[in-house]
Amino acid sequence: MRKQILGEFSIDRVVEYEGPFAALQRIIPQITSEDVDANADWLKPLFLDDANNAIMSFHSYVLKTRRHTILIDTCVGNNKPRPQRESWHLQNYDYLQAMARIGVRPDEIDFVCCTHLHADHVGWNTQLVNQQWVPTFSKARYVFAKTEYDHWEQAHRSALALNQPAPNHGSFADSILPVVDAGQAMMVGDDFEFEKGVYLRAARGHTPGNCILHAHSQGAHAVFSGDILHTPAQLINLSWSSNFCYDAQASEQSRKALVHSLADSSSLLLAAHFPGPVAGHIVSQGDQFRFQGLKFGS
């Protein structure tokens, strides 16, 4: 995705990884080979490979306004111990170099906004320095929805007390708590406003405190939707929640509300895992929907 202009704002993408991730049916258990065949004309090869593996991107967005630079979701991170998911375990990607290539330094980030606190959305919150996890963005305020934070804190504390494996790949301990300990965390409601035109809204289901971020400028509108849609294949049937959703029914309701609000409008959708061209529109197609990426390239 090249720089996207949104009124007076600009949007860039920082890519950690893009490519085949997992079998589509592992992500959406309800989908069938017949569903894939019926929609292959728009799903392949951009969103699915020949083996029906979902093509996914793990990336952050950088939203620049006249007042702030906001980093949205922070991927998996380097050197994070994630033995339960081999592709994430102790990975080493050039994420910070990719950020430098779009002209942004870590100390220029004013806010880090995590739409939710799954391990692949918080990883670059911290980096390993002298064997200690420290905040990557030294001058940023890290915005965590309190409902979301409280859920994962309780899960983390309970696991410790019961001597059980840490939940969420241990990411609360290495990617959230060091930010809190450094005094850089902001616990906010799900109606938090960063500035006029840039605000959070609740979108429960994928996680208990999941939020989406809206940006409005000069009549233009974009939604940073996190994981309400993991893959455009969910637009075939909006009742299909991903295998990673905490509450499938609530996730379905949030997805339907979002898609219907954006369909056939000028509003941009920027999802957390769609591959390039990334930014695009929801368009209706009979009783289904499709994702139509912008045509300026990837």
Least confident of 146-150, 178-182, 247-251, 285-289: 285-289
Bridge partners, residue 53, by sequence: 23
> Residues 156, 134, 10, 42: is their CA dihedral positive or negative?
negative
Q: Is pLDDT above 90 for 187?
A: yes
3-state secondary structure 69-91: EEEECCCCCCCCCCCCCHHHCCC
Q: Which of 218, 222, 221, 238 is nearest to 230 (CA)?
A: 238
| Cβ–Cβ under 8 Å, residues 179 and 220 | no
Q: Is pLDDT above 90 for 252?
A: yes
- Binned at pLDDT 50, 70 and 90, residue 146 comes out as very high
Residues in contact with 208: Cβ distance below 8 Å, sequence separation at least 6, in sequence order = 147, 148, 151, 246, 247
> Residues 76, 250, 40, 22: is their CA dihedral positive or negative?
positive
| Cβ–Cβ under 8 Å, residues 269 and 280 | yes
| pLDDT value of residue 287 | 87
Fold of 4-293: Metallo-beta-lactamase; Chain A (3.60.15)
| pLDDT value of residue 74 | 98
pLDDT tens per residue across span 262-278: 999 999 999 999 998 89
Calpha distance 25→35 (Å, rounded): 11
Q: Is pLDDT above 70 for 296?
A: no
pLDDT tens per residue across span 96-113: 999 999 999 999 999 999
Give the pLDDT mean for 133-142. 98
What percentage of the chain carries pLDDT values higher than 70? 99
Assign 3-state DSSP to the chain and report helix, strand, coil percentages, each to 5: 30, 30, 40
The chain-wide mean pLDDT, for the chain, equals 96
| pLDDT value of residue 298 | 34
pLDDT tens per residue across span 8-43: 999 999 999 999 999 999 999 999 999 999 999 999
